Amino acid sequence: MQVAVRVSYRLRNKMKSYHDIVGDGGSGILEQVAEHRTRIADGLAGVRHLVAVGSGKGGVGKSTLTLHLAGALRARGLRIAILDADFNGPSQARMAGVQGALFVPGSHKVSLPRTSNGIGVFSMGSVIPESQALEFESAAQGESQTWRATREFALLGEILGSFEWGALDLLMFDLPPGAERTVQYADFLGPCTSFLLVTIPSEVARGVVARSVAALSKGPNRILGYVENMSGYYCRDCNAIKPLFMSSETPRLGIPCLGTVPFDPELARFCDGGISFAELGDTTIRRALDDVAQQLLESLI
Amino acid sequence: MKFLCVPCDTPMKLQSVGPPERGSLSIVYSCPECGYEMAMLTNAYETQAVQSLGVRIGPEGGTKTSDASACPFAAMIPGTEDGQAAEATPVRWTAAAEARLANIPEFVRPMARAGIERYARDNGCLEVDEKILDAARDFFGM
């Protein structure tokens, strides 16, 4: 009976719909979300290029390439920062040597920790020890599948809006694995963010990267190209690059190849020890990374 | 989400937000025309959905959906205990330095406080002011 009365009341009076009402009655949620967006945009106003390094596949060397491409670009005199967006498996803090970084409050924002060669780095690895996993308080007592991604993107927004990114030529995002995550980051970071994808000479990896290409191609973000990492391994004894994977087929990803980088155990040691690109010396790997950095720069022009 | 007083066809206004209790928020709205009040009682999923956006709810945007004083990572951060630096000698903070600290995200605040206090002690200071913050910034090449 009550329902019938209400329905007839609505039909008679044409009650207001959601969009007829200005504001939200005082909760201010939409305004706060808009404020967060403005704060992010203001914080990134001095950044010329936003480049997200992704893949879709885990373990292909996204973080290693991100850090060392940043090093190669920094060596060219560019102002570079890295945001390690892999909050659940952050590796940039260790690799960049900023695990014990001090966070100093500036006049309005937090100063960004820097590597010895001047690359600004934010990584959750500077905040949380490696022996601990990232956890959030939850009213839902678990059930993280229903809210976790939203919380992580809110955290990303907080980081973008709260740190002093300043004037940069390039801000590089080291993305977590997952083809769907790559697209979520594209949506969050907006159409001005370009993507660099990383693969390895394995059909499995190429297949996953191809899915990322397909997913990103539906949106407005530019895909700069891909880098084939672990493209053979560098044998220091022979001073030669030898095959690492049996696959010899050229990837058909439909995007430009910005270069190939062989695997080098010495580079892995540098990463574990937080040793910078500047100390790499004139090696085959450094030249390969330099070539990719040059291609990356040219693709951004 | 918006609430409409159907008899008055008037948007209702948020009046108060009760603190989270066992994952539930009590949010009271009233109709400015007839004064009718109603409460939205959220379940834990709804509370968490809003909490995950990192926003505050309240008449002045002042009630956070989680405990606003707590750093969500406090228990994970070394050198802190319940968000406070666990150091023996207390270090005072000037109001201006505290204000700068308040500007930074909660999740790095305990770590920043502990690190700055350590830096101040190492430099023979038991008070953190803006000069100490700027000196720390310069010292660490930021």
CATH topology for the B74-139 domain: Helicase, Ruva Protein; domain 3 (1.10.8)
Confidence class for position A293, pLDDT limits 50, 70, 90: very high
- Residue B140: its pLDDT value, please? 75
A128–B77 CB contact, under 8 Å: yes
Mean pLDDT calculated for residue range A38-54: 94
Q: Of the candidates B29, B53, B100, which has its C-beta nearest A33's C-beta?
A: B53
Residues B74 and B83: beta-carbon distance below 8 Å:
yes
Q: Of the candidates B11, B115, B137, which has its C-beta nearest A106's C-beta?
A: B137
Per-residue pLDDT at A65 exceeds 50 = yes
Per-residue pLDDT at A1 exceeds 50 = no
> DSSP string of B8-36?
TTEE-EEEEEEEEETTEEEEEEE-TTT--
- Residue B83: its pLDDT value, please? 43
- Ordered by start, the domain boundaries in chain A are 32-300
Longest CA span, chain A = 88
A21–B2 CB contact, under 8 Å: yes
A24–B29 CB contact, under 8 Å: no
Mean pLDDT calculated for residue range B32-55: 90
- Spell out the CATH class of A32-300: alpha beta
Q: How far apart are CA A202 and CA A246, in angstroms?
A: 8
Strand A193-199 vs strand B13-21: parallel, antiparallel, or unpaired?
unpaired
Mean pLDDT in chain A? 89
Q: At what angle do helices B95-102 and B109-122 cross, to 10 degrees?
A: 140
Tokens in use for B74?
Answer: 């406090």
Lowest mean pLDDT among A86-95, B65-74, B83-92: B65-74
Residue reference for tokens 């008070």: B127
Q: How far is CA A225 from CA A24, A53, A81, in A?
A: 43, 10, 20
Q: Which residues of A touch B72 (CB under 8 A)?
A: 135-137
- Residue A159: its pLDDT value, please? 94
| A195-251 pLDDT per residue, tens | 999 999 988 899 999 999 999 999 999 999 999 999 999 888 888 888 888 766 666
Quick check: B123 contacting A, CB < 8 Å? no
Taking residue A38's Cβ as centre, other Cβ atoms within 10 Å add up to: 11
Q: What share of chain A is helix, strand, coil (3-state, %, to 5)?
A: 40, 20, 40
Mean pLDDT calculated for residue range A71-86: 96
A140–B23 CB contact, under 8 Å: yes
Residue A206, phi-psi category: left (phi > 0), alpha (psi -120 to 50), beta (remainder): alpha
A36–B54 CB contact, under 8 Å: yes
Tokens in use for A199?
Answer: 């693969």
Contacts 24+ apart (CB under 8 A), B37-41: B38/B3, B38/B12, B40/B1, B40/B3
Task: Suggest the residue from A102, A116, A131 to mutate for an interface test with chain B (most B CBs closer than 10 A).
Answer: A102
Mean pLDDT calculated for residue range A16-26: 88
B115–A103 CB contact, under 8 Å: yes
Q: Of the candidates A16, A23, A104, which has its C-beta nearest B136's C-beta?
A: A104
Q: Which residues of A touch B15 (CB under 8 A)?
A: 26
Tell me the range of A141-145, A170-174, A242-246, B60-64 where mean pLDDT is highest. Answer: A170-174
- Ordered by start, the domain boundaries in chain B are 4-64, 74-139
DSSP alpha helix (H) spans, chain A: 2-13, 29-43, 62-75, 92-96, 148-162, 179-189, 203-217, 265-273, 284-300
Confidence class for position A297, pLDDT limits 50, 70, 90: very high
Residues B101 and B93: beta-carbon distance below 8 Å:
yes
Single out the residue of A34, A47, A119 nearest to residue A84, CA to CA: A119
A150–B115 CB contact, under 8 Å: no
Q: How far apart are CA A57 and CA A256, in angstroms?
A: 18
Write the ipTM.
0.72
Per-residue pLDDT at A85 exceeds 50 = yes
Give contacts of B 52-91 with A, CB under 8 A. 52-59, 61, 65-67, 70, 72-73, 76-78
- Residue B67: its pLDDT value, please? 43
| A181-211 pLDDT per residue, tens | 899 999 999 999 999 999 999 888 999 999 9
Per-residue pLDDT at B112 exceeds 60 = yes
Q: Of the candidates A6, A21, A136, which has its C-beta nearest B72's C-beta?
A: A136
What number of helices (H) and strands (E) belong to chain B?
4, 11
Q: Which residue has the higher pLDDT, A23 or A10?
A: A23
In chain A, the N- to C-terminal Cα span, in Å, equals 68
Q: Which residues of A touch B53 (CB under 8 A)?
A: 29, 32-33, 150, 154
- Residue A287: its pLDDT value, please? 93
Per-residue pLDDT at B28 exceeds 90 = yes
Q: How far apart are CA B113 and CA A253, in angstroms?
A: 48
pTM of the model: 0.85
Tokens in use for A72?
Answer: 């190669």
B76–A32 CB contact, under 8 Å: no
Residues A52 and A193: beta-carbon distance below 8 Å:
yes
Mean pLDDT calculated for residue range B81-99: 73
What's the length of chain A? Answer: 301
Taking residue A145's Cβ as centre, other Cβ atoms within 10 Å add up to: 8
Q: Which residues of A touch B73 (CB under 8 A)?
A: 127-128, 134-135
Three-state SS at A200: coil
Single out the residue of A4, A159, A7, A12 nearest to residue A87, CA to CA: A159
Confidence class for position B81, pLDDT limits 50, 70, 90: very low
Exposure b/e, A262-297, CB count within 10 A at least 16 = b = bbbeebeebbeebbbbeebeeebbbebbbebbebbb
Q: Where are the beta strands (DSSP E) in chain B?
A: 4-5, 10-11, 13-21, 24-30, 37-41, 56-57, 63-64, 80-81, 84-85, 92-93, 127-128
- Residue B75: its pLDDT value, please? 53
- Residue A72: its pLDDT value, please? 95
Per-residue pLDDT at B63 exceeds 70 = no
Mean pLDDT in chain B? 81
The identity of residue B19, as a single letter, is P
- Residue A18 burial by CB count (10 A; 0-12/13-18/19+): exposed, middle or buried? exposed
Residues A288 and A266: beta-carbon distance below 8 Å:
no
